[in-house]
A = this chain, B = another copy of it.
């Protein structure tokens, strides 16, 4: 799913709010008005972009906008899906949030704090592949063998966690990658609880 511009995010958010306030989707002119556009065309352009990027679907009928994915699940738990991690910021900083995901209830009743799109193939030994979305519980430490999210050089990375004598080993499960040794464990951001993949 392609990324949205700030403006497009605002428009999508306003549609979400309108539906949750009114119970039915807004018209193009209602969207325009709520953003101060003086022409329906401005709102229509945004809708076309949102549709092209897969965030909404619509027909040529009145009030026929449908939110795909996230907002259609009212009342379900929502977690932030983190995109590119900006260096120096806390991982859950708003700048890092790409969108919000609706999740099914965790089968073991654990709390999911955030989701992250996996990039790279360093964990293919655990059958975690590029593009997979991992669901993560935020925590600062972990047990040996846990799959964790850690910040390395301002980038979020997924690795297996092992506590050594005087360091932490972050081990890729793909043997073509080398294990990484870090001194502090404060870079641990969370533990991976589940995985979701769209084919």
Question: Which A residues lie at the B interface, using CB under 8 A?
Answer: 1, 22-25, 27, 54, 57, 61-70, 72-73, 75-76, 101-109, 124, 127-129, 147, 192-199
Contacts and interface: CB of A to CB of B under 8 A. Distances in A.
A22 B66 contact: yes
B25 A107 contact: no
B109 A68 contact: yes
Contact of A107 (B66, B68, B106): B68
13 contacts: A23-B72, A54-B108, A63-B63, A68-B107, A69-B107, A72-B105, A102-B104, A127-B197, A147-B199, A192-B199, A193-B198, A194-B196, A194-B199
How many copies the complex holds: the figure is 2
Contact of A199 (B61, B104, B195): B195
A167 to B, nearest CB: 24
A62 B105 contact: no
A24 B66 contact: yes
A57 B23 CA distance: 10
| Residue among A61, A72, A103, A199 having the largest count of chain B Cβ atoms under 10 Å | A199
A113 B188 CA distance: 38
B27 A68 contact: no
Nearest to A196: B196
A25 B26 CA distance: 12
A198 B103 CA distance: 13
Contact of A73 (B70, B76, B108, B128): B76
